[in-house]
């Protein structure tokens, strides 16, 4: 017997890795179906860069944890293949993490389903499982392969675990409507033994490929005595329709498992460990106060962010407690990677955003800009931003409040927290070598160069600036301790300041009961609006008088008191209740300050 810590052993179906203790690790082949030509769904980025989908997909596989044994990139022949695509293929690495990278070239017959069939015919029982993935979709969970394998092992009769299984409202046989997922080799081998191949179309048309491949493969697995399953009840799935809109499935679930490329999000959280322009007793007593509560909110409110980037500018008077807090942060928040980025204290928050964008650029499609003393206060706040920006492709920046300060300044984000389109930022970056910000730490200079300058730079590139008017309220903290409410005709808040009174715990996420099989081309029904009885917290801040506003100072008790209850809760009692709620939330979502693992 070999003495190394890892060795190879042949099993009846595939090569299994043995690790100390005799545990078997499944050999998985990740079949990545690529294409270098035009797409049914037009995406400007692909026409500008034919390697875009494949490059982004491979970047995701480099960043994510997985134990894949092989990544097989299938490249169908294309007589009009761009030279850039061929150069990219020739320069591919031989490994991604521990997985071998293999390129298979083949005739363009049967589209992605033909590509998968050819790969299986080549390797068959050399692997225990086969992923089927097209290049324009990516798995967004660490250990996504283990999540698939776990469910497959729990259900030995499952031959194909896809993203969404549907019969399209009874119009077709049950099949993988969103087909990306994992096949069991035993099931594929049973199909291959009966048919001599894995079903697929015999031309390059969508209708034939969907009928003979997409439906045919699912039905062949079922016909061989295996089950077809999907992620309902476990993970959410997003699907891009032919008109570029997004349909969401399994909305009752907390986290996503797969997303179409073009929705990667980086939440840039601009922090500061020193004194603030607006004095806050809690922040003065605890330098981690704002950042700690902000991260608590990100643990509490449901989202599908891909990365949270905390930008920490250098501060010579930084406290030991603040440094310890940064050093002991977990590596993830919910499903998002958590990264700390340090930089010189130049340009304030706008300089922090600029440096974060310069580091990651097109690794993400959208960048959230958030300062540590403001939080988004809705479940799926990121989806709300992306949905509006996908409806309005001209929108380059969706902020809390867009205004001109009564004509005193150009149109800009008066409340800067919001979402920026990566394509807009890239054009600004290429034109300026940075995202505009001042080269000092002055507030007035950075408001002019950063707050106004970044908004105007995006507009100058042909994009629009939008806010949440008509959809959600936003709150802004003033120096006198009152809260300015914008878009007050809206029922629910989107952004609120962290004030001297801590944020109340959010309401539970609404549970949406959906049928198991959702038609692929049928728009998912939006969940019913859930009334939220939540008010902006007390805080301090400064802002010019808006053209339309109401100014309210909310005592802590008023946010939670039942008008029919007596006696009224006191602010001191509310602080105690809140502290207990925050601690309960932290234990429920983070354990010992660790992120909650996906179910």
Give the count of domains, the chain.
Answer: 2
151 and 268 part of one domain:
no
Domain end position, chosen among 228, 256, 284: 256
**Does any domain span residue 435?**
yes
Q: Per-residue confidence at 246, pLDDT binned at 50, 70, 90?
A: confident
pLDDT digits (tens, 9 = 90+) for 482-491: 778 899 899 8
**Tokens 């521990």 -> residue:** 98
**Does any domain span residue 595?**
no
Return the minimum-mean-pLDDT range out of 301-315, 333-347, 507-521: 507-521
149 and 269 part of one domain:
no
Q: What six digits make up the tokens of 448?
A: 């002019």
Q: Per-residue confidence at 506, pLDDT binned at 50, 70, 90?
A: low
Return the minimum-mean-pLDDT range out of 260-269, 295-304, 449-458, 558-567: 558-567
Domain end position, chosen among 256, 282, 299: 256
pLDDT of 526 over the 50 cut: no
Sheet of strand 395-403: strand arrangement: 332-333, 336-343, 307-313, 265-270, 366-371, 412-421, 395-403, 464-466
Mean pLDDT, the chain, integer: 82
pLDDT for 362: 87
pLDDT for 509: 53
245 and 377 part of one domain:
no
pLDDT for 244: 77
30 and 166 part of one domain:
yes
Return the minimum-mean-pLDDT range out of 103-117, 157-171, 268-282, 371-385: 268-282
- Cβ neighbours, 10 Å, residue 387: 15
233 and 267 part of one domain:
no
222 and 309 part of one domain:
no
pLDDT of 533 over the 70 cut: no
Domain coverage including residue 224: 7-256
Domain end position, chosen among 256, 273, 291: 256
pLDDT digits (tens, 9 = 90+) for 376-418: 999 999 999 999 998 899 999 999 999 998 889 999 999 999 9
pLDDT for 210: 86
Q: What six digits make up the tokens of 442?
A: 């002055």
247 and 268 part of one domain:
no
pLDDT for 507: 53
Q: Of 225-229, 300-304, 536-540, 543-547, which has the strongest mean pLDDT?
A: 225-229
369 and 480 part of one domain:
yes
| End-to-end CA separation in angstroms for the chain | 38
- Between CA 294 and CA 322 the distance in angstroms is 14
Q: Per-residue confidence at 24, pLDDT binned at 50, 70, 90?
A: low
pLDDT of 548 over the 70 cut: no
**Does any domain span residue 518?**
no
What mean pLDDT do residues 456-469 have?
Answer: 96
**Does any domain span residue 596?**
no
- Cβ neighbours, 10 Å, residue 179: 25
Total-model pTM: 0.73
């Amino acid at each position: 017997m070999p003495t190394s810590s890892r060795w190879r052993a042949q099993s009846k179906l595939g090569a299994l890795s043995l690790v100390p203790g005799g545990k078997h690790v499944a050999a998985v082949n990740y079949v990545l179906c690529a294409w270098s030509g035009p797409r049914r769904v037009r995406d400007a980025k692909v026409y500008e860069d034919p390697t875009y989908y494949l490059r982004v997909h491979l970047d995701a596989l480099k960043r994510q944890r997985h134990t894949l044994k092989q990544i097989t990139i299938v490249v169908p022949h294309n007589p009009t293949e761009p030279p850039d695509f061929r150069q990219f293929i020739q320069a591919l690495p031989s490994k991604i993490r521990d997985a071998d990278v293999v390129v298979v070239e083949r005739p363009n017959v049967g589209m992605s389903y033909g590509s998968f069939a050819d790969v299986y015919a080549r390797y068959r029982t050399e692997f225990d499982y086969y992923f089927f993935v097209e290049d324009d979709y990516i798995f967004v969970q660490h250990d996504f392969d283990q999540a698939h394998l776990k469910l497959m092992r729990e259900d030995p009769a499952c031959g194909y675990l896809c993203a969404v299984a549907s019969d399209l409202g009874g119009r077709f046989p049950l099949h993988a409507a969103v087909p990306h997922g994992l096949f069991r080799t035993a099931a594929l081998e049973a199909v291959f033994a009966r048919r001599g191949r894995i079903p697929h179309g015999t031309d390059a048309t969508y209708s034939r490929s969907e009928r003979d491949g997409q439906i045919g493969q699912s039905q062949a697995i079922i016909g061989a005595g295996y089950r077809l399953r999907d992620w309902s009840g476990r993970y959410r799935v997003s699907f891009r329709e032919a008109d570029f809109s997004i349909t969401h499935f399994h909305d009752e679930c907390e986290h996503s498992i797969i997303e179409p490329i073009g929705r990667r999000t980086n939440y840039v959280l601009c922090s500061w460990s020193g004194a603030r322009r607006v004095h806050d007793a809690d922040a003065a007593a605890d330098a981690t106060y704002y950042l700690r509560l902000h991260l608590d909110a990100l643990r509490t409110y449901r989202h599908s962010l891909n990365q949270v980037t905390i930008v920490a500018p250098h501060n010579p008077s930084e406290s030991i407690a603040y440094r310890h807090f940064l050093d002991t942060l977990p590596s993830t928040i919910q499903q998002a990677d958590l990264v700390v980025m340090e930089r010189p204290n130049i340009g304030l928050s706008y300089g922090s955003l600029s440096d974060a964008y310069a580091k990651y650029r097109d690794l993400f499609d959208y960048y959230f800009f958030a300062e540590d003393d403001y939080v988004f206060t809705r479940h799926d706040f990121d989806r709300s931003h992306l949905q509006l920006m996908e409806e309005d492709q001209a929108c380059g920046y969706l902020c809390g409040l867009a205004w001109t300060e009564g004509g005193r300044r150009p149109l800009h984000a008066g409340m800067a927290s919001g979402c920026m389109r990566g394509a807009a930022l890239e054009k600004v970056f290429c034109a300026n070598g940075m995202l505009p910000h001042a080269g000092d730490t002055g507030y007035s200079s950075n408001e002019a160069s950063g707050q106004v300058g970044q908004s105007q730079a995006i507009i100058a590139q042909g994009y629009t600036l939008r806010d949440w008017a008509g959809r959600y309220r936003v709150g802004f903290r003033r120096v006198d301790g009152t809260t300015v409410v914008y878009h007050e005709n809206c029922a629910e808040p989107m952004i609120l300041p962290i004030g001297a009174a801590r944020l109340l715990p959010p309401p539970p996420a609404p549970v949406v009961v959906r049928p198991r099989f959702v038609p692929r081309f049928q728009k998912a029904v939006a969940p019913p609006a859930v009334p939220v009885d939540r008010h902006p917290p007390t805080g301090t801040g400064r802002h010019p008088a808006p053209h339309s506003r109401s100014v309210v100072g909310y005592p802590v008790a008023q946010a939670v008191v039942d008008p029919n209850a007596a006696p009224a809760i006191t602010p001191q009692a509310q602080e105690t209740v809140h502290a207990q709620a925050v601690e309960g939330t932290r234990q429920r979502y983070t354990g010992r300050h660790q992120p909650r693992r996906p179910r």
